[in-house]
Amino acid sequence: MSVTEVARHLKTARHVVIFTGAGASTESGIPTFRDALTGLWEHFDASRLATAEAFRADPSLCWGWYEWRRHKVIQAQPNAAHVAIAELARHVPRLTVVTQNVDNLHERAGSQAVIHLHGSLHSPRCIDCGVAHQAPLSIDVLPGAGARIEPPRCTMCEGLVRPGVVWFGETLPEGPWSDALAAAEACDLFVSIGTSGVVYPAAELPLRAHGRGATVVHINPDRVEVRNQEFFLEGKASDVMTALVNEAFGALLSPRS
């Protein structure tokens, strides 16, 4: 399917789901997990950082790493793909944005009610009682990637405050998952952007959408595995999303916003 054909679907769709992965934030300078050269896991041992056991075993290493990542997000700006997705909401009858990303770049581009399947770097909570804690919006001193930083203590129970992201081995937050599933099963166009599609259960969403008759389109600069009757648009998130929204709705977005 070409950009023109997908744009035609966008124009007639009643409910569009945009489903993003780390690739949607790459052009904002946030590294993906699996990209061969820049992927975070190429440089860090995930098992030491992204599990509850790892946090309990070495809280300051783990917290320091997440503070480093959070700081990178604070410094980053939404890119043209985030902007095009926010613009899309003005043109289609219903838009649901579902993200696997733990940054807040969709919101900063203007998207509302974003469903975060894997939590957020910006919503830490107590590991023991679950109470939410404020994450300061700025960090005075940029922590290095390997810096140790003591996590704060919970003001309610003195437990350790942990990052508000979903770690390996944890289940997805129930509300966001059921909302995402409901949207995938109700939409008529499902657009998956910048995800390798290997992290389950999130990767099930395009299958569910397809199973209910939606048109499913994947956008990625690298060819991802596309199942029967799903479509693929090769290119960067910023270029393809800008072209789609411009072509479908005559918007005047630039891919380099």
Please choose which of ligand NAD, Zn ion, none residue 246 contacts, taking the beta carbon within 5 to 8 angstroms, the exact cut-off set by kind: none
Helical axes 174-186 vs 204-211, angle rounded to 10°: 30
Counting Cα atoms < 13 Å in the Cβ hemisphere of 18 gives: 29
Could you tell me the two tokens for 53? 């056991």
State phi, psi for 39 to the nearest 5 degrees: -55, 135
Considering only 18, 83, 100, 109, the residue that binds ligand NAD (CB under 6 A) is 100
Is residue 173 a contact point for ligand NAD (CB under 6 A)? no
- From residue 220, how far is each of 72, 144, 172 by CA, in Å? 23, 30, 24
What track of x and - describes contact with ligand NAD for positions 23 through 52 (by CB under 6 A)?
x-xxx--x-xxxx-----------------
Choose one: 44-52, 127-135, 165-173, 207-215; the region binding Zn ion (CB under 5 A). 127-135
What track of x and - describes contact with ligand NAD for positions 103 through 142 (by CB under 6 A)?
x--------------x------------------------
Is residue 199 a contact point for ligand NAD (CB under 6 A)? yes
Q: Which residue type, as a one-letter code, is found at position 110? A: G
What is the SS3 assignment for 19? strand
In whole angstroms, how close is the CB of 48 to ligand NAD at the nearest point?
16
Cis? peptide before 201, omega within 30° of 0: yes
- Residue 222 burial (CB count, 10 A): 10
Looking up tokens 């700025």, which residue turns up?
A: 138
Task: State how far the Cα of 47 lies from the Cα of 55, in Å rounded to an integer.
Answer: 10
Considering only 62, 154, 165, 245, the residue that binds Zn ion (CB under 5 A) is 154
Is residue 180 a contact point for Zn ion (CB under 5 A)? no
Residues that bind Zn ion (CB under 5 A): 126, 128-129, 131, 154, 156-157, 159
Residues that bind ligand NAD (CB under 6 A): 21-23, 25-27, 30, 32-35, 100-103, 118, 193-196, 199, 220-222, 224, 236-237
